[in-house]
Structure 1
Amino acid sequence: MPDLETRLAARPLYLQVRDVLVQRIVVGHWKPGATLPNETQLAQQLGISIGTVRKALDLMEVERIVTRRQGRGTFVNDYASAETTFPFSMFHNFEGQRISGTKIGRSITRVAASAEEAARLGQRRGDELIRVERVRAHHGQNFMSEVCLLPAKYFTRFPEDLGSYRLSALAQHNSILVGRADERVDIVPANGCDATELGVAEGTPLLRLDRVIFSDHEDALEWRVAHCFARNERYLVRFN
């Protein structure tokens, strides 16, 4: 019988099941929007208890990988669907409804990573990055300007309008699962470019959001620096 230290170091079975199910989704065994086999079928396929399967699916729902609908089954979330919200979108209206805004691409270029960009994205200096500059509008007014950098080696398949991409959908399109995000928030004065894009006076205080999003395997997928001037929006964080 394994000693206590070995048993404690072992990954819990429900997490191993979660990893198996997620891998099947990533490789396309179950496509976005597809229905997973029911708990009994999964338990039989994997040779485990229904309770372990249920615990794995509960976690996957918390992670927004799947959606469970009572009496209908468990569905793979389709991140390209307008019905699926991006887990790291923090802007809401004053009624508490999440908003993303209309994304308008300004430029898309391929650049060599600088030392700082390489460090933030876990790349080597000079590695190819995709740089997307865009603004977001809500109710006809720009409220955010963004500069997004993505390591080119992870993204070889693109939507027709890359300028308005949703990272979760773009990642899913490239067989990648979004994991977590780290974000830094501070206040900075608007420079000339941001003032023009957001329709404010130069020097106006803006909310700066500096965020890196990682994959399920801890690879940095996107470094985004956004400048925001909230008129009809608010930045809302909920802790669970």
Structure 2
Amino acid sequence: MPDLETRLAARPLYLQVRDVLVQRIIVGHWKPGATLPNETQLAQQLGISIGTVRKALDLMEVERIVTRRQGRGTFVNDYASAETTFPFSMFHDSEGQRISGHKRGRSISRVQASVEEAARLGVRRGDELIRVERLRDHLDQTFMTEVCLLPAKFFTRLPEDFGSYRLSALAQLNSILVGRADERVDIALATAQSASDLGVAEGTPLLRLDRVIFSDHEDPLEWRVALCFMRNERYLVRFN
């Protein structure tokens, strides 16, 4: 990597290496599931020590960008697969099996960000947002309504079945890496609309999930508010 050593004072070398490797993944140099060159090869390519490469790869594994397997190599994670997508949906049935539900798109529109929306999504008031409203069904009953807002500037490429998008796959399509999520959980009373959607009486207490998902660069990618009525399901958070 030309002149990499001269930039040490501005940013630790292993973080610079991490950024270079991530950029190669983003632009498609290494596809999801691909094996990265080994540490010795990467060190030679970049003109740095193996220890620095190892530290960068260790960080990328913590960030879930790659998976390292002893004796087999380092693999790019596929963020569109069920195995590596962050479990933002925590619903489980009475036997402990995870429920994702069947998504049904209700509407897709482009709107201008309100003051609150701009604050939550890190954009300016009036900036274009993509708004998606959808329902989730389980055992032929609707158990969740969702309103999702995404900054249009990040998502110029949209799949044909956008109404049922999964953020990890959508981000991958737009060369973005998904990072962390902040989630708030509280109780809301069913309005006339949500009561009709969920098949409950108006005023019924509902579980409200308020989630903002960020990129690996801390840009808010999606603000989602879901209203849920729990019948035989439960909301389970599992810590590893």
TM-score range relative to shorter protein: 0.7 to 0.9
State the match for 1:6 in structure 2.
none
Aligned 8 A contact 2:85 2:168 in 1: no
Aligned 8 A contact 1:188 1:208 in 2: yes
> TM-score under structure 2 normalisation?
0.86
1:232 to partner: Cα distance: 3.8
State the match for 1:159 in structure 2.
159
State the match for 1:208 in structure 2.
208
State the match for 1:56 in structure 2.
56
State the match for 2:185 in structure 1.
185
Aligned 8 A contact 1:64 1:87 in 2: no
1:10 to partner: Cα distance: 6.4
- Paired residue secondary structure (1:21): helix
Residue ranges of structure 2 left out of the alignment (5+ in a row): 1-8
Distance 1:112 1:61, change over 3 A: same
1:157 to partner: Cα distance: 0.4
Distance 1:204 1:174, change over 3 A: same
| Range moving further from structure 2, 175-184 or 58-67 | 58-67
1:15 to partner: Cα distance: 3.1
- In the alignment of these two chains, the number of paired residues is 233
1:98 to partner: Cα distance: 3.9
* In 2, Cα distance between equivalents of 1:131 and 1:162: 11
Q: Deviations over 1:69-95 (max 9, x none)?
A: 444332222222344333433333445
- Paired residue secondary structure (2:34): coil
Distance 1:36 1:93, change over 3 A: farther
Q: Deviations over 1:87-146 (max 9, x none)?
A: 433333445444422221111011111121112111122111110001122333322110
1:184 to partner: Cα distance: 1.6
State the match for 2:217 in structure 1.
217
* In 1, Cα distance between equivalents of 2:231 and 2:10: 50
Distance 1:36 1:140, change over 3 A: farther
How big is the alpha-carbon RMSD for the aligned residues of Structure 1 and Structure 2?
A: 2.4
Question: What does 1:69-80 correspond to in 2, within 5 Å?
Answer: 69-80=69-80
Letter of the 1:30 partner, please give it: W
Aligned 8 A contact 1:94 1:234 in 2: yes
Distance 1:20 1:147, change over 3 A: same
Question: What does 1:118-137 correspond to in 2, within 5 Å?
Answer: 118-137=118-137
State the match for 2:175 in structure 1.
175
Distance 1:30 1:133, change over 3 A: same
* In 2, Cα distance between equivalents of 1:227 and 1:70: 43
Letter of the 1:16 partner, please give it: Q
- Paired residue secondary structure (1:111): strand
Percent of pairs identical after alignment?
Answer: 87
Residue ranges of structure 1 left out of the alignment (5+ in a row): 1-8
Q: Deviations over 1:17-58 (max 9, x none)?
A: 322211211122212222211222222222334344333323
Distance 1:13 1:236, change over 3 A: farther
* In 1, Cα distance between equivalents of 2:233 and 2:40: 45
Distance 1:200 1:68, change over 3 A: farther
Question: What does 1:105-144 correspond to in 2, within 5 Å?
Answer: 105-144=105-144
Letter of the 1:171 partner, please give it: A
* In 1, Cα distance between equivalents of 2:84 and 2:230: 24
> TM-score under structure 1 normalisation?
0.86
* In 2, Cα distance between equivalents of 1:95 and 1:47: 53
